[in-house]
Amino acid sequence: MSVSVRIPTILRTYTEGAAEVSVEPADATLSGVLDALEALAPGIRARVLDDSGALRRFVNVYVADEDVRFTDGLATPVAAGAQVSIIPAVAGG
């Protein structure tokens, strides 16, 4: 299955400037998507996850428009064709 991932400006150095990439995760969860993204763009996963493997404090991740902190975090299921968005959390107010 294929999943599209929206890449924030600050991570586009890993994707040769691409704002959106398509990945084929082996495991249909957000974790699986990040693994597939890492294979495509080595180093990018460590920007999104901290040393303990948890989502960083100031990153928002959405799966099909749902903030993953409302769902199952890294275990959130990702359906075929879904869009995953990675967005800095510091905006707004």
Rounded to a whole number of angstroms, the minimum distance from the CB of residue 26 to other proteins is: 26
List of E strands, the chain: 3-6, 20-23, 59-63, 66-67, 83-88
What residues line the site for other proteins (CB under 8 A)? 6, 8-13, 19, 47-48, 50, 56-60, 62, 67, 69-70, 85, 87-93
Beta bridge partners of 20: 6
Shortest Å, Cβ 29 to other proteins: 20
Q: What is the rounded CA–CA span in Å between residue 86 and residue 63?
A: 9
Q: Which is nearer to other proteins, 16 or 92 (CB)?
A: 92
| Shortest Cβ 31–other proteins spacing (Å) | 18
SS3 of residue 20 by DSSP:
strand
